[in-house]
Amino acid sequence: METSKNKISAKRINIKVLIFSIFLIASAFNTIRAQKVYSVNYANQADVLVFVVKYANQADLKVFRVEYENQAGENDGKWFFTEYSNQAEKKIYFVEYENQADLKIYFVKYENQAGWRSNSKKSLMY
């Protein structure tokens, strides 16, 4: 009799652990969002002013432009450009001069090259 109670108790604990694990995994997926950006027409509409530099070593962030929203990362340089501003997490404006920019970026050819060169400006894209 005692062993059957222990087995039932162990099964309940295993089920609780399983449910809790599923909840944690689901929560993690909900917090992971794509770095979706929209390029606005005027500087006063933007969250971040961006300048595209000529060389990767001049950039704060190396950006890879992904083709689909689900390929983008969360503040890791993999950007998906949205069609509408309300779909974006950040609105950016491309400035003409480097000294006008909050953030300097360089567009890379390959996804594995994307990322921050320095964490000092990382908060701009959160």
- CA distance linking residue 125 with residue 15, whole number of Å: 40
* For the chain, domain boundaries: 1-31, 33-125
Please name the amino acid found at residue 115.
Answer: G
Predicted pLDDT of residue 44: 97
What per-residue confidence (pLDDT) applies to 27?
47
Are 105 and 48 contacting, i.e. CB atoms less than 8 angstroms apart?
no
- Separation CA 12–CA 59 (nearest Å): 54
Query: What pTM, to 2 d.p., does this model score?
Result: 0.71
CB-facing half-sphere around the CA of 99: CA atoms within 13 A: 0
Residue 20 is predicted with a pLDDT of 63
CB 46 within 8 A of CB 101: no
Residue with tokens 């992904």: 66
Total length of the chain = 126
* Cross-strand pairs, 104: 51
Q: Are 85 and 91 in contact (CB under 8 A)?
A: yes
Task: Look at the block and give the residue holding tokens 């770095």.
Answer: 35
What is the predicted pLDDT for the residue at 31?
Answer: 39
More confident residue, 30 or 73: 73
